[in-house]
């Protein structure tokens, strides 16, 4: 399994986490499975929306983009190309930066923790580290 | 590669299945087999609207629950103006402070003390609209006093009521009774014979009210 496969698998998991939060925000799902309820506090705060859209939607789009790039990078035509690895690092670095901002809001402003957001933060960080490791190693085929 | 795509398929299956399961648990309306008993010894709740309204909606809520606050702020004004004031719906609020919310019981008690002076609904709005402030405060009692004053309650009487914990036993009795109705989360709404456990948009609520009206006139 090369780094693009690992990233694809992590991005798919992250996609479902973000999808769950987005659908809950849209009112499609019932009570959120979140233990002590910090998820609702975070998700219903004014910071859970950006430019009129739920923050979770950006997560859905971001993870889908990473997933798509990693799958493209696994196709024979792109397997030995550096470009998909660079794209994955750029996308995941943007995700980490955005996640760091959201985590700061949870800790310092909202003062509540959303467990699903923490799961997402761990996933995007793992994706970024894997992308970085893959790029540094320089081996693009399995 | 086959194993890799197999792993992706497994993740998709588990993730999709979990979301599909979540979409069917708790959000949809369920018919209540037994009518909600209101002729009990416990306090029957605060009522807004006409006695002759076609449908009664019972809301089981927690003042510190974010989803309840979301409903009160976003949907509440429409409900009041378009359903209650038009005589279609009678609204009943029942206390259900959850143990997971550390200031909920005190907030419900503050609402009861304002209610003693006929200012429950004004205090209800104060508590929900300011939920983000008092729920994070280390001294919510001072804020409750300010909200009660803003709601129109007489300050000394409110403070006496709070100090004596005059309604604590009543709120706890209501909470225990509500738990026996099979309700475990807030907000939960009984709309005629339908029960929904989630915050609702006005449009979603109106659909359920129309269903309840149909059933009531049959």
**Residues A80-97: tens digit of each pLDDT:** 889 999 999 999 999 999
Helices A3-26 and A55-73 pack at an angle, to 10 degrees, of 160
Which of these ranges, A76-85, A131-140, B30-39, B190-199, has the smallest mean pLDDT? B30-39
More confidently predicted of A73 and A24: A73
The predicted pLDDT at position B72 comes to: 93
Within 8 A by CB and 6+ apart from B125, the residues are: B72, B76, B151
Which residue is associated with the tokens 């609209």? B129
The percentage of chain A sitting over the pLDDT mark of 70, rounded to a whole number, equals 89
The predicted pLDDT at position B156 comes to: 95
Contacts of B23 in chain A (CB under 8 A): 23, 28-30
Cβ atoms of A40 and B135 within 8 Å: the answer is no
Chain A residues within 8 A (CB-CB) of chain B? Answer: 1, 5, 8-9, 12-13, 15-16, 19-20, 23, 27-31, 33, 36-37, 40-41, 43-45, 74, 111
The predicted pLDDT at position B57 comes to: 95
- Write out pLDDT tens, residues A12-37: 999 999 999 888 777 666 667 776 65
More confidently predicted of A120 and A52: A120
Contacts of A36 in chain B (CB under 8 A): 100
Select from B8, B27, B136 the Cβ nearest to the Cβ of A29: B27
B51 Cα to chain A: minimum distance (Å): 31
- As a whole number, mean pLDDT of residues B115-135 equals 94
pLDDT > 80? residue B208: yes
- As a whole number, mean pLDDT of residues B151-156 equals 96
Cβ atoms of B131 and B62 within 8 Å: the answer is no
Which of these ranges, A32-41, A124-133, B47-56, has the smallest mean pLDDT? A32-41
Which of these ranges, A114-123, B66-75, B78-87, B209-218, has the smallest mean pLDDT? B209-218
pLDDT > 60? residue B40: no
The predicted pLDDT at position A4 comes to: 93
The answer to whether the Cβ–Cβ distance between B4 and A1 falls below 8 Å is yes
- Write out pLDDT tens, residues A5-16: 999 999 999 999
- Give phi and psi for B201, each to the nearest 5: -80, 165
A107-113 contact pairs (CB < 8 A, 24+): A109/A47, A110/A41, A110/A42, A110/A45, A110/A47, A111/B136, A112/A38, A112/A41, A112/A42, A112/A45, A113/A38, A113/A42
- As a whole number, mean pLDDT of residues A111-123 equals 89
The answer to whether the Cβ–Cβ distance between B27 and A5 falls below 8 Å is no
Q: What is the Cα B202 distance to its own chain's centre?
A: 15
DSSP code at position A100 = H
Residue B100 pLDDT level (bands cut at 50, 70, 90): confident
Q: How far apart are CA A119 and CA A8, in angstroms?
A: 16
pLDDT > 70? residue B24: no
pLDDT > 60? residue B37: no
Cβ atoms of B160 and B183 within 8 Å: the answer is no
pLDDT > 70? residue A142: no
Q: How far apart are CA A17 and CA A124, in angstroms?
A: 11
């Amino acid at each position: 399994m090369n780094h693009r496969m690992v990233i694809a698998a992590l991005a798919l998991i992250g996609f479902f986490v973000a999808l769950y939060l987005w659908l809950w925000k849209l009112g499609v799902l019932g009570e959120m499975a979140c233990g002590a309820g910090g998820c609702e506090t975070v998700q219903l705060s004014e910071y859970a929306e950006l430019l009129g859209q739920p923050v979770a939607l950006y997560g859905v789009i971001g993870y889908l983009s990473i997933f798509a790039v990693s799958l493209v990078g696994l196709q024979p035509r792109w397997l030995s190309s550096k470009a998909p690895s660079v794209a994955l690092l750029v996308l995941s670095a943007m995700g980490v930066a955005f996640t760091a901002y959201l985590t700061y809001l949870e800790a310092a402003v909202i003062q509540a923790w959303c467990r699903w957001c923490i799961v997402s933060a761990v996933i995007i960080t793992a994706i970024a580290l894997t992308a970085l490791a893959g790029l540094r190693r320089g081996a693009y085929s399995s | 590669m086959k194993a890799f795509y197999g792993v992706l398929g497994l993740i998709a299956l588990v993730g999709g299945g979990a979301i599909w399961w979540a979409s069917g648990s708790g959000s949809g309306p369920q018919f209540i087999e037994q009518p909600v008993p209101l002729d009990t010894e416990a306090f029957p709740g605060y009522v807004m609207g006409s006695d002759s309204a076609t449908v009664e909606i019972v809301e089981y809520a927690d003042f510190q629950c974010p989803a309840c606050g979301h409903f009160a702020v976003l949907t509440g004004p429409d409900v009041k103006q378009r359903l209650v004031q038009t005589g279609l719906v009678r609204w009943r609020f029942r206390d259900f402070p959850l143990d997971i919310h550390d200031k909920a019981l005190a907030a419900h008690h503050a609402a009861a003390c304002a209610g003693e002076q006929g200012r429950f609904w004004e205090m209800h709005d104060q508590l929900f609209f300011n939920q983000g402030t008092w729920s994070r405060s280390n001294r919510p009692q001072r804020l409750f006093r300010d909200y009660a004053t803003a709601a129109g309650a007489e300050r000394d009487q409110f403070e006496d009521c709070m100090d004596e914990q005059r309604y604590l036993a009543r709120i706890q009795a209501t909470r225990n009774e509500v738990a026996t109705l099979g309700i475990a989360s807030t907000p939960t709404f009984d709309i005629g014979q339908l029960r929904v456990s989630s915050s609702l948009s006005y449009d979603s609520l109106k659909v359920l009210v129309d269903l309840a009206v149909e059933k009531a006139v049959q």
